[in-house]
Structure 1
Amino acid sequence: MPRVAFKTTLMACCAAVSVIAVIAAPVHAQTASMAFRIEGQPLDQALIEFARAADVQVLFTPELVRGKRAGAVSGTLSPREALATLLNGTGVGIRSVSADGRTFSLGATDVAGAEPEVVVVTALKRTAAIAKVPAAVVAINGTDIRERGIVGADGLVDEIPGVSINYSTGGTGYGLLSIRGIGGADDYKPNGSPSVALHVDGIYQTSNAYVGMPLFDLERIEVLKGPQGTLYGRNTTAGVINAITRGPSEAFEGYADVRAGNFDYTRFETAFGGKVSENFGVRLAVMAENGGGFMNGEGAGTLAGFRPTVGGIVQTQVPAVTDPGKREGFGDKDMVAARATFSFDFTPQTNLTVKAFASRDRGDSRQYDRLEKALDNTQFNAGENADPYSFYSQKYFTHAYDIRGLSGTLTHRVKENLNFTVVGGVQSTDRTDGGNGDGSPYPGYEYAFDEKLSQASLEMRLSDDNGGKFDWIVGAFYLTDSADFDSTWTSFTVRSVYDNNHKQRRNSFAVFGQADYNVTEKLRLSGGLRFTRDTVDYKGQNIDHNPWGISIYNSTFATVSGFSWDRDFEDDNLSGRLTAQYFVNDNFNLFASASTGYRGGGFDGTSIMTLEETYPFESETVTAYEAGARWYKGRFRASLDVFSYKFKNLQATTRLANDTNGRTNVGKAETSGVDLAVGVRLFDGQTQKLDLDLSAAFLDSEITEYISRRAADVAATVGDPLPGAPDVTANLSLKHQVAFTGGWYLTSRLTVAHHGEESNRLNALPNNTAEPYTLTNVHVELASPASWSVYAFGKNVTDEVYFPELNGAARLVGAPATYGVGLRYRF
């Protein structure tokens, strides 16, 4: 497209009403799609930038846009689609379009504009309207993230059907995300290979340790469901979560947001920035979160002063169970995080964005409750009552998580339709945590974890992906990460204190490519391959300290303590994907795909008690089939996905030959199901609108083969569902907006989420299977014409008692009704 001159002209209309016209010389019809990249910014500036990019004229009055903010536009769209996206949520809409499609007239509409939102994602490493992506993708924009109260990846549970989390016995700081039933059997320790690949600004987070990292000042979150072995590589057998943070806008702007709620909860967030010069922009974001603990500690109860007995003799050399006293509101957050983003436009074709990030978390480690004494008559029970929000413990465990990172993205347009991208980052983490997984003061297996993690990654891509007859992308990826982690266990059961000291170094290299061929205007075929080479080195030692002289470690674990190991693991994998997509018309398309992927093999990172547990296990592989349909037209949008997966070399923890627990390849599994999403504008008036969004996931998972030395475990496990695989999950959202005179408007959102029954482990007993639950959340916000708004929120407003996880007699209790108010100011 030739570059032409642009100008902004002030035009006079009747009755002395000023009209601004952003004019570009017309050079081509405005029905074809083109690439847009417009940051969120004040609406008047965004319209100028849009007109320049699209070579069109846009007419509007100054009063119409004053004090309003445009959303970001990114992707290959028609000018009308791009303008509708830019105007979404502003109260401004497209009133008319000239016959030649070169002049757009704007006017006041309802509070969010009559045009449907065109959601643009980068899920497949290119910008595209979500309705045209041949994969199951869910995108949540920054406004919805804030209104739904999502502050981390774990907050996607109950907001996106099919997403779940399992904490297993590693405590609430060690979450295992699952999507479509895959991931709940992962290793909770930091050296494992998660099935869900979490990315933040394009940087892969190598460990489950990052599930709880804070996410704030977000542009959007994208969730890809199902294996993504071609473009994303290993450890994506469940899917991918992409969190995209905001960058500098063209003009200076920002916001401050403060909220407070019950249980002494407070949260503050602010971000601001813009262009410092023509070629340099900065954005700073800060977040602090405190309080919110809803559990009440009752101390050690009847177990205060307890010591183990051997042969009827109390072992007085063993420290007695201590009583820490009572404590209200346990589980408080204590977190602060900051991010600085710098954008350098070296030339019109070359941009470098650098992000520096750090967070500090000193919160309470949320504790498990235990069944009441009448239902749990064991030595572990310290006198529990029926109140699920009270617990007994000999310690009130806290944690310390520190994360630091630096990442950069370089984009360069080599020539028309040829783009070069480099994404790289380094990150380090220190974590200490502790707990007692049985929800009791009795130190049966009380743990203390000390971990140091680091990672560095680099990806380079060359692509021609602007919607031509033949589009393609090729790239290379390198990752190195390390985990040094010590696990100290205090056990009255083993009558000792013992350590596992681990050091793991891992390197992964991959090359990949994908090509899209538009056979006709309606049929598109895609194919891709990815080759990966993994190497892992794993060293460690096991030490039984026997501080009290009564250790039964060797007899308990049928081994001899004081051993060390030094193991290596290497693996190659070739994954691929084939996709066919058929566009029935501009609003309706169908696709079908077949793909393969894998979860990297490696080593157990939990409690290494015997040498047998130190041997590597093989990579887990998946073969996936999926078909889907997309229908987006006017006020209505719908998507349907049907999928079927088969897994081999399933990785899980089982009984090994020496009767201890260890991770290995335990067999095969299958999952199948349906994802459904429907969105419709139920009412669209001059001053009001009402939107309904309904999504649901139906899942059937089954372990088809199980390998174990225990015949009873095999019989009990084959045919069971996978851990973290609820049969039904659903989310219903109603959002109402009404505009008042003078520029005021009110937004109300009601969300109802249902989470089906799920277990937290293989060969689960009934006391490891959590019951279904349904949560109701609300958010109400009144916005003024002066750029400030006040809001109120409530979660689980029906105060339902629910347990996201059961671990025998120990229970992880969900939050009761929480509510609060907030104030937000935009500038």
Structure 2
Amino acid sequence: MTSNRFKPFLMTFCAAAACMVAPLSMAQAQTPVAFAIQDQPLDQALIEFARVANVQVLFTPDMVRGKRANRVSGTLPADKALNALLNGTGVGIKSVSADGRTFSLGATAVAEEEPELVVVTALKRSSAIARVPAAVVAMNASEIRERGINGADGLVDEVPGVSINYSTGGTGYGLLSIRGIGGADDYKPNGSPSVALHVDGIYQTSNAYVGMPLFDLDRIEVLKGPQGTLYGRNTTAGVINAITKGPSEGFDGYADVRAGNYDYTRFETAFGGKVSENFGVRLAVMAENGGGFMDGEGAGTLAGFRPSVGGVVQTQVPAVTDPGKREGFGDKDMVAARATFSFDFAPETNLTLKTFASRDRGDSRQYDRLARAQDNTQFNAGENADPYSFYSQKYFTHAYDIRGLSGTLTHRLKDNLNLTVVGGVQSTDRTDGGNGDGSPYPGYEYAFDETLSQASLEMRLSDDNGGKFDWILGAFYLSDSADFDSTWTSFTVRSVYDNNHEQRRNSFALFGQGDYNVTDKLRLSAGLRYTRDTVDYKGQNIDHNPWGISIYNTTFATVSGFSWDRNFEDDNLSGRLTAQYFISDSLNVFASASTGYRGGGFDGTSIMTLEETLPFDSETVTAYEAGARWYKGRFRASADVFAYSFKNLQATTRLANDTNGRTNVGKAETSGIDLAVGARLFNGETQKLDLDLSAAFLESEITEYQSRRAADVTATVGDPLPGAPDVTANLSLTHRVAFSGGWDLTSRLTVAHHGEESNRLNALPNNTAEAYTLTNLHIDLASPASWSVYAYGKNVTDEVYFPEKNGASRLVGAPATYGLGLRYSF
């Protein structure tokens, strides 16, 4: 134990180490400063804080040993930023010098009662989440890690209102939906997803990026509802912002390794800091393997099968092969890396560059099929009732390669006038295959080969420092391309045929938003965005007829060997009006009305007829929303009610020639309420218990439907939208215990409920997934030496559930999974 006679010396030493600064006035000390301090050991965070704020912070080593600081991001006065950094650590500000440049810290329980300051950039500027007039969910790095979120698809069952539909394309083609919008999207890469995914400010143009790895994250923000003003087209469901970590002022990092059942392993490390006064670097690497929980049974009774024509077996057709049995199918095989470089050209100018690459060679998890007793068809190869086993003539794998470069330039032109430029380029190669009916029978067995590329640039000029009138003006440009080649082997069509097409798209937008503080209590906001899109689309369809028995033309009522070259143009003006009233510092309410749209274009699935190449119009939405926010100490509550109306709904239906094609099918309405409550149930000297409860209640209805088949219209009108569960909820209890010697034990119990959900427009029982409830556990023991050991369990009750059903085929969710991990922070 440190002797008391040395403590004054240690305080002086720590203060000197924390900052070597010149005197400054009280006015300078109270000037807001831009902070970007990461979650890290408290002593390092205090040193970084002192340097950034240009102040002194006095503390003893014993006071901060084994503690971790909160992340602080945004432009804040030094005292507020320091309170946010210390919140929940048991350390608080004891005194401040008369000139405002020296903060003395001490052990205190008062800091525990300070309200949690969560800063988000949902409105393209730093704002406390409690003051954002929109439905926003934010997770910091610790919460992301504890919940096991490694990609955008990991938000399902963690954020109420978020769902995923894998459609016919398998698990590599997920369709995210928020508040019931997105489940009817096109699963192919040239489509326009309703949920806009952004990574470090870069819009990801395709559904192909839903499964891209996310690691070394600073936070994730989920904006629910249309965001047409600041984010533009294809945000009718909402926006997901993933923000990765950058270099900190001091050198820091971590290494994290875990292993679980089903031979699962994951390794992640990141480190970096300031190399010089004006240059910083951070490197991050991730590798993930195993985890496959399905067992392949081979081709079963269909091994050796060939089609017959008129009772004659077609021996020229390759027979169904038997690949044998395989355990643990569905393994991951992924590695990814990111390098971040930060240049401070001047106190008012920063350039951050990020380069990223990932390589995925995992198994393409296949669909299971109903047991033979429930599915007496030629497709069933002897399927049993075990949902974790399946029959197939191939064990499909995929190859996904993504690489990209992005940059963000921030420059303060003068006080209250800031320029931000965000740009990036990205390219992707993907190959995948499967058989969507969950059987060895190659009714429609596909092999996809895709090449994607995109380039985007956004420029924003803003005055957003909280004055009487804040504003933002911007311009956005995007160019992307998708080359898609598909090969189909079909015993149903008795042929092998190719479908090759390419799409080139350009989008340009101008946008602006203003916030006027009419009084100290009332704020009015208005925004507009003009967008113009042009799309070129061409391709060809070839029936190879290798076996000489093709019935392609009869099946699709067409003539094979056709090609097309089409284009589409559209523009849109979207807007948003918001009124926000601050009843008190801890309670505010708002109401908004907005419009948005999802860009029109072309069917991205395989084109079998010329009619499927015709363009469809943009989908539009009118949205109304109202909400309330109450943040008081460790208690917080929010409620949001909403109602949306959609026109020109885009979906797949029967076209005039009776083939499936994507077009505008009608109208739909959604409405609901989001609720969230967070509270500290117990706040003792050594123990704390926190509750987080959130839920989303949703009603959706297809009010108008167009189809060539009258029976489809009758069956569909009045149905809910796909990807629109009626109730989703998440309950978390987090218990923390502080032991003597600086040890801490954190335990988290999470229970997630996902309501009944249809996977198709026509919500028949055989494509409606039943409700399910998952229970997850995470226990973390942190040592005073900056290392921790943890254990986790997901779906610990081993509930059998199906995220998707498609007739007799079904996609089963993961059974109970467990693992252990070790993490070291430095």
Question: TM-score over 0.5 for the alignment?
Answer: yes
Find out whether 1:702 has 2:691 as its counterpart. no
* Alignment deviations for residues 314-350 of structure 1 (CA, whole Å, 9 cap, x no partner): 0000000000000000000000000000000011111
By how many angstroms is 1:64 displaced? 1.6
Cα 1:818–1:90, aligned 2, differ >3 Å: closer, same or farther? same
Matches within 5 A, 1:248-287: 248-287=247-286
1:750 aligns to what? 749
By how many angstroms is 1:16 displaced? 7.4
Tell me if structure 1 keeps the 8 A contact 2:256–2:267. yes
Tell me if structure 2 keeps the 8 A contact 1:360–1:400. yes
* Alignment deviations for residues 503-543 of structure 1 (CA, whole Å, 9 cap, x no partner): 10000000100011100011110101000010000000011
Counterparts of 1:380 and 1:184 in 2: how far apart (Å)?
27
2:432 aligns to what? 433
2:209 aligns to what? 210
What is the count of residue pairs matched by the alignment? Answer: 817
Counterparts of 1:621 and 1:812 in 2: how far apart (Å)?
31
Counterparts of 2:347 and 2:56 in 1: how far apart (Å)?
23
1:678 aligns to what? 677
2:796 aligns to what? 797
**Length-normalised TM-score, structure 1:** 0.96
Cα 1:112–1:247, aligned 2, differ >3 Å: closer, same or farther? farther
Letter in 2 for 1:61: T
By how many angstroms is 1:26 displaced? 4.8
Matches within 5 A, 1:444-483: 444-483=443-482
Structure 1 SS opposite 2:26: coil
* Alignment deviations for residues 22-62 of structure 1 (CA, whole Å, 9 cap, x no partner): 78645149889665443455533433443465576643223
Matches within 5 A, 1:345-356: 345-356=344-355
By how many angstroms is 1:115 displaced? 3.2
Matches within 5 A, 1:293-692: 293-692=292-691
2:143 aligns to what? 144
Tell me if structure 2 keeps the 8 A contact 1:303–1:442. yes
Cα 1:52–1:214, aligned 2, differ >3 Å: closer, same or farther? closer
2:64 aligns to what? 65
Counterparts of 1:226 and 1:670 in 2: how far apart (Å)?
13
Tell me if structure 1 keeps the 8 A contact 2:224–2:239. yes
* Alignment deviations for residues 675-704 of structure 1 (CA, whole Å, 9 cap, x no partner): 000000111121111110000000000001
By how many angstroms is 1:86 displaced? 1.3
Letter in 2 for 1:289: E
Cα 1:393–1:280, aligned 2, differ >3 Å: closer, same or farther? same
Cα 1:386–1:330, aligned 2, differ >3 Å: closer, same or farther? same
By how many angstroms is 1:111 displaced? 13
Structure 2 SS opposite 1:386: coil
- Range with bigger deviation, 274-283 or 22-31: 22-31
Cα 1:767–1:816, aligned 2, differ >3 Å: closer, same or farther? same
Counterparts of 2:258 and 2:381 in 1: how far apart (Å)?
37
Counterparts of 2:716 and 2:648 in 1: how far apart (Å)?
16
Counterparts of 1:175 and 1:723 in 2: how far apart (Å)?
13
* Alignment deviations for residues 97-121 of structure 1 (CA, whole Å, 9 cap, x no partner): 7899876543346899553321000
Counterparts of 2:550 and 2:47 in 1: how far apart (Å)?
76
Counterparts of 1:103 and 1:684 in 2: how far apart (Å)?
30
Please tell me the root mean square deviation across aligned C-alpha atoms, in Å.
2.0
Letter in 1 for 2:575: G
Tell me if structure 1 keeps the 8 A contact 2:647–2:668. yes
1:4 aligns to what? none
Counterparts of 1:477 and 1:91 in 2: how far apart (Å)?
45
Structure 2 SS opposite 1:86: helix
Tell me if structure 1 keeps the 8 A contact 2:26–2:100. no
Which runs of 5 or more residues in structure 1 are unaligned? 1-10
* Alignment deviations for residues 522-565 of structure 1 (CA, whole Å, 9 cap, x no partner): 11101010000100000000111111000011111111111000
Structure 2 SS opposite 1:70: coil
1:75 aligns to what? 74
Letter in 2 for 1:716: A
Aligned-pair identity (%): 86
Structure 1 SS opposite 2:153: helix
By how many angstroms is 1:487 displaced? 1.1
Tell me if structure 1 keeps the 8 A contact 2:25–2:99. no
Counterparts of 2:102 and 2:627 in 1: how far apart (Å)?
36
- Range with bigger deviation, 20-29 or 433-442: 20-29
Counterparts of 1:725 and 1:438 in 2: how far apart (Å)?
23
Which runs of 5 or more residues in structure 2 are unaligned? none
2:784 aligns to what? 785
Counterparts of 2:98 and 2:735 in 1: how far apart (Å)?
34
* Alignment deviations for residues 250-288 of structure 1 (CA, whole Å, 9 cap, x no partner): 111110000000000000000000111110000000000
1:772 aligns to what? 771
Counterparts of 1:78 and 1:723 in 2: how far apart (Å)?
47
Cα 1:395–1:84, aligned 2, differ >3 Å: closer, same or farther? same
By how many angstroms is 1:82 displaced? 1.7
1:733 aligns to what? 732
* Alignment deviations for residues 440-466 of structure 1 (CA, whole Å, 9 cap, x no partner): 000011110000000000000000000
Cα 1:568–1:14, aligned 2, differ >3 Å: closer, same or farther? closer
* Alignment deviations for residues 597-645 of structure 1 (CA, whole Å, 9 cap, x no partner): 0000000010211000000000000000000000001010011000000
Letter in 1 for 2:812: V
Counterparts of 1:376 and 1:667 in 2: how far apart (Å)?
33
**Length-normalised TM-score, structure 2:** 0.96
Cα 1:89–1:446, aligned 2, differ >3 Å: closer, same or farther? farther
Tell me if structure 1 keeps the 8 A contact 2:481–2:502. yes
Tell me if structure 1 keeps the 8 A contact 2:65–2:742. no
- Range with bigger deviation, 137-146 or 75-84: 75-84
Cα 1:26–1:59, aligned 2, differ >3 Å: closer, same or farther? farther
By how many angstroms is 1:765 displaced? 1.3
* Alignment deviations for residues 361-408 of structure 1 (CA, whole Å, 9 cap, x no partner): 000000110000101000010001111100000000000000000000
Tell me if structure 2 keeps the 8 A contact 1:54–1:79. yes
Counterparts of 1:579 and 1:819 in 2: how far apart (Å)?
46
* Alignment deviations for residues 132-188 of structure 1 (CA, whole Å, 9 cap, x no partner): 001100000000000000000000000000000000111110000000000000000
Letter in 1 for 2:363: D
2:242 aligns to what? 243
Tell me if structure 1 keeps the 8 A contact 2:748–2:778. yes
Cα 1:588–1:57, aligned 2, differ >3 Å: closer, same or farther? farther
Tell me if structure 1 keeps the 8 A contact 2:504–2:537. yes
Counterparts of 2:633 and 2:30 in 1: how far apart (Å)?
17
Cα 1:275–1:41, aligned 2, differ >3 Å: closer, same or farther? farther
Tell me if structure 2 keeps the 8 A contact 1:759–1:769. yes
Cα 1:419–1:17, aligned 2, differ >3 Å: closer, same or farther? closer
By how many angstroms is 1:74 displaced? 1.6
Letter in 2 for 1:130: I
Tell me if structure 2 keeps the 8 A contact 1:39–1:250. no
- Range with bigger deviation, 763-772 or 34-43: 34-43
Letter in 2 for 1:603: F
Counterparts of 2:573 and 2:758 in 1: how far apart (Å)?
32
1:6 aligns to what? none
Structure 1 SS opposite 2:500: strand
Find out whether 1:162 has 2:129 as its counterpart. no
Counterparts of 1:25 and 1:47 in 2: how far apart (Å)?
19
Counterparts of 1:715 and 1:99 in 2: how far apart (Å)?
76
